[in-house]
Amino acid sequence: MKSAGVGVGLIAGIAFVIWMGTGFFIVQEGQQAVITQFGKYKSTVGAGFNWRLPYPIERHELVFVTQIRSADVGRDTVIKSTGLRESAMLTEDENIVEIKFAVQYRLSDARAWLFESKNPSDAVVQAAETAVREVVGKMRMDTALAEERDQIAPRVRALMQTILDRYKVGVEVVGINLQQGGVRPPEQVQSSFDDVLKAGQERERAKNEAQAYANDVIPRAVGSASRLNEEAAAYKARIVAQAQGDSQRFASILAEYQKAPQVTRDRMYLDTMQQIYGNVTKVLVESRQGSNLLYLPLDKIMQGVASGSGALDAPAATSVPPAVSPATPAPTFSNDARARDTSRTRERESR
């Protein structure tokens, strides 16, 4: 009996050791283990080699916390009561749009995922539907389809995260991805809305072209106006300065004329003659000793000077030719013309 008792104790000890050994478990990277004691939550352990009390005292459940999960929202199932799809949403202006998108999320709290919600996956979908209906319900149809379409996803994500945190589902929303054609009008009016979108795009294109034309024309017009203003200012300054100079010159001449009228008149006559004959290339000089005229080819002299053969030698080489000899017939004037010239000369001398 004694040996039998020892054998039973040994067997019981071995069984106890084996039973206690069943409490060892390994948690992989990216997982968390939720340990429960008689069905009640006890603790959460991370990756590594862990131990708990053997079953049925304690048990553990592995949960992937880093895995990205996805849920589709906006199915094509038709609701019999309304005749619309589940993806149909009501906008602020009482129109209907259809939205399809996918929710990407991961677990942030394994305990909350297992114990705070009966069906956490459905809770995520319901929170997404609630958030998107609230966001779309505050938008007009035109803005939801075009202008603020890109704002739907971030607004839905923020509101959805608030709802899930309020219910302690233990979920972190990673992103909201609108599917291709995710925001669209119902099929019954799809063609009409396509025409509206095309018209809006055409309007934007026309506005952009008009803005580009304005950006091209306005700077040039401003530059032309500035140039004209500067030219007008310069012309004004030149005319004013010239007028002031003429007035000052006239005043100085008047003062000198009052002092010496005859000298001033002679000086003015000589200056005027110099200005007149300064651009004349041919000069005819009347000879009072005879009826011949002296011809001075000034143009030939000036060409000889400018030819470069020598500024001092050219006039000598092309000096004024001698007066026309008496044997050479010279152009003559009538007696009346000569009398008029003589009277004019005497009148100038008397002045």
Res. 284: pLDDT tops 70? no
Q: Is 101 in the same domain as 167?
A: yes
Chosen domain end from 41, 64, 87:
64
Q: Is 176 in the same domain as 158?
A: yes
| Token pair belonging to 117 | 């919600």
What percent of the chain stands above pLDDT 70?
A: 78
Q: How far apart are CA 193 and CA 174, in angstroms?
A: 32
At 190 the three-state DSSP class reads helix
**Residue 166: which domain range?**
69-185
Task: Between 113 and 294, name the one with better pLDDT.
Answer: 113
For residue 252, tell me if it sits in a domain.
no
Q: Is 315 in the same domain as 341?
A: yes
Res. 335: pLDDT tops 60? no
- Confidence band (pLDDT; 50, 70, 90) for 308? low
CATH number at residue 96: 3.30.479.30
Average pLDDT over residues 181-197: 74
Number of separate domains in the chain: 3
122-155 core/surface letters (b: 16 or more CB in 10 A; e: else):
ebbeebbbebbeebbeebebbebbeeeeeebbeb
Q: How far apart are CA 163 and CA 123, in angstroms?
A: 10
Q: Is 38 in the same domain as 90?
A: no
For residue 240, tell me if it sits in a domain.
no
Residue in 200, 112, 106 with CA at minimum distance from that of residue 149: 200
Task: Between 346 and 60, name the one with better pLDDT.
Answer: 60
Q: Is 315 left (phi over 0), alpha (psi -120 to 50) or beta?
A: alpha
Q: Over the stretch 215-259, which tens digit does the pLDDT of each residue have?
A: 999 999 999 999 999 999 999 999 999 999 999 988 988 888 888
Q: Is 107 in the same domain as 151?
A: yes
Q: Is 109 in the same domain as 170?
A: yes
Res. 333: pLDDT tops 60? no
pLDDT value at residue 287: 62
For residue 139, tell me if it sits in a domain.
yes
Q: Over the stretch 28-77, which tens digit does the pLDDT of each residue have?
A: 777 778 888 887 777 788 777 777 877 888 787 878 888 888 888 877 77
Task: Provide Rg for the chain, Cα atoms.
Answer: 57
